[in-house]
Amino acid sequence: MAVFLAVYVAALFTPPLLDDADAAHAQVARHIALSGDWVTFQIDGIRYLEKAPLPYWTVAIFYHLFGYNVFATHLPMALGMLGCAVLAWFWARRAFGDRAAFYSALGLLTCIGAFLFTRVYIPEALLSFFTALALYCLITGTEDRSSIRIYWMWAALALGVLTKGLVTPVFFAAAAIPYLILTGAWRRWRELRPLTGVLLFLLIAAPWHILAGLRNPDQGHPIGNIPTQGNVHGFFYFYFINEHWLRFLGSRYPHDYNKLPGYLYWSLHLVWLAPWSIFLPVLLRRAWQTRSQWLHDLKPNTAQTVDFYIEKAHLVDPAQHVAQVKFRARTNWLLAFYAAFILIFFSLSTNQEYYTFPAYFPLLVLSGSALARAEEYPGTPQAWLTRCHAIFALIGTIAAGALAYGLWLSRSVANVPDIGTLLARRDVAGYSLSMSHFFDLTGASFAALREPAIIAMLAFLVGPLIAWLLRKRGHHLEATTSVAFTAAVFLVAAHIALVRFEPLLSSKAIAETINHFSKPEDRLLLYGDQSDGSSVIFYTNRPALLVNGRRSTMIWGSYYPDAPHIFLTDEDLIAMWGRGSQNFLFVPEEWNLHVQSLLGSRAIEVQRLAGKTLYTDRPLVQ
């Protein structure tokens, strides 16, 4: 709990909502909270039908409780991570013991990927929790013959569908079906309550989908997959065909998504699972050493012979030991199926870095169990653990050296509030990767990152070395805890650094300028995609006109006949500039030269922040 409070709860208050998905999704939740429409979602007055509802519903509820702020927006993700950690602890404790449970929970709370991908408002943490909960209820429900647990499985699946769509039952089935076949549990299929369970599933998951389809039917005569004005497919086609099936095939419209190169897709998981990925050799070695037991321990009559009980007579409860052996083996298989399918599935389909987030749960539970097993049993060669720590210490020393070098380069640079002025613009992968801006760092930019860089440098320099020394001396629990402590300190430093990146990643400061100078009747305009300035819309709490902004997530909803007229052309911008109410125009860096060529001297610069510019068409009045 201390790690959760330090790493996740403390990070709920800063930085403000970021541009792109973070603030755009927050707009959806605010529309729900203000309008009371829990079925048809909107961004800037335009239908937004491509995502499942539960993440927006939870944030809308939290907005009523805590106000319209970043804390309420990101709280569901933090609670999702807490749920994953608690579930991992319970599951691993039953299957592998107390130490494995401790390591599994620590791993989920301190791995880099889980922290990084909960800095923005996306539902992967909740998806991971509900899918893992469904699998846990499946394995414990069939083991304990508990119908209550089985019904919880169906409920968790339904909540997963309301969180992320059909990927939840797909992930679940891909793990559950081979598991049931392999263990022979499929023969007891009636215990899975297929009739009443499916009814419960539909009772929870179906109403919103039905209502969304009825309230958002086809318009006009849509042909093909590209909408035109007044001719657009309704919710059922758009949500299930375009957003699920065609996205998987890479044919979704609009084509605003990526596919990582194979080598990058697989190798990045070493980063996302760090620092626990350093123990991957231990997991692989453990799997190889126990390969002969993989199927043996699954057999219904495993360890039920007289010879076994004679060998285990010294145990207080041999029967309980038998049950734990079976449960451990079945957990290994179920989690292995689950992780393998997710990783292979997204290696074939279109993907983003965070799509494999649900695989972190099974991989870290399996890693935690292998690590605990290696520590607790003296017969296990300890050289592997020591080598892993030596590698960790080497990586930590190199990272500390790199940070020290950056600090040295910035020693004569004064601290500036806008880190964007100190960054290079290398445009790695078109800034589509979560760490693209990491490659924009320059020596001078460390002037704005001195405190977090020093904290991270000390953590990398001291933590891994202490963990290595403790491991060499046989203090295994303390050594592994030192790894977690190092990771936690680094994540705290990473959050401080993220706050320093606020001018680059968020436009709240520009929104505050607009709020200060504008009157209610003034107009807000954004040039380009609304996601590039979504935090401006959120923090000004006013509708925005989009110049050349009919793209990305706004396309489908914009073609509905009742869509508001918010999409302007360059000609519209020129015609309205300087006329009527005062105009405030937000321009991302990539469009700045173009806008200057359009408006010339009539564009009065109000504010420039990390390359983003705010213009108006007449002098400001205090």
Give me the residue spans of the domains in the chain: 49-283+328-376, 383-505, 508-616
Sign of CA dihedral 301, 307, 308, 314: positive
Report the half-sphere exposure of 334 (CA within 13 A, side-chain side): 29
Q: Rg of the Cα trace of the chain?
A: 27
588: which residues sit within 8 A by CB, 6+ positions away?
A: 527, 528, 532, 533, 611, 612
Secondary structure (H, E, C), 568-588: ECHHHHHHHCCCCCCEEEEEC
Backbone angles phi, psi at 164, to 5 degrees: -140, 5
d(CA 153, CA 88): 16
- The better pLDDT of the pair 205, 443 is held by 205
Strand arrangement of the beta sheet that strand 583-587 belongs to: 567-568, 544-547, 523-527, 583-587, 612-616, 604-609
More confident residue, 247 or 51: 51
Q: What is the pLDDT of residue 324?
A: 76
What whole-number percentage of the chain has pLDDT above 70?
A: 90
- pLDDT(379) > 70: no
Indicate the range of 373-382, 385-394, 567-576 predicted with least confidence.
373-382
In 3-state terms, the chain is what percent helix, strand and coil (to 5)?
Answer: 70, 5, 25
pLDDT digits (tens, 9 = 90+) for 255-309: 766 778 888 889 899 999 999 999 888 778 777 777 777 776 666 554 455 555 5
Q: What is the pLDDT of residue 12?
A: 93
Please report, in angstroms and rounded to a whole number, the separation of the first and last CA atoms in the chain: 49
Alpha carbons 484 and 11: distance in angstroms, whole number: 18
Contact 553, 43 (CB under 8 A): yes
H-helix or E-strand spanning residue 117: none
Confidence label for 376 from pLDDT (cuts 50, 70 and 90): confident
| Measured distance CA(217)–CA(210) in Å, rounded | 11
Give the pTM: 0.91
How far is 282 from 154, CA to CA, in rounded Å? 35
Average pLDDT of the segment spanning 560-575: 92
Per-residue confidence (pLDDT) for residue 554, from 0 to 100: 87
Q: pLDDT grade, residue 326 (50/70/90)?
A: confident
Of the candidates 107, 75, 74, the residue with the CA atom closest to the CA atom of residue 88: 107
187 in the Ramachandran plot: left (φ > 0), alpha (ψ -120 to 50) or beta? alpha
Is 455 or 318 the better-scoring residue by pLDDT?
A: 455
Identity of the residue numbered 448: A
pLDDT tens-digit readout, 91-139: 999 999 999 999 999 999 999 999 999 999 999 999 999 999 999 999 9
371 pLDDT more than 80? yes
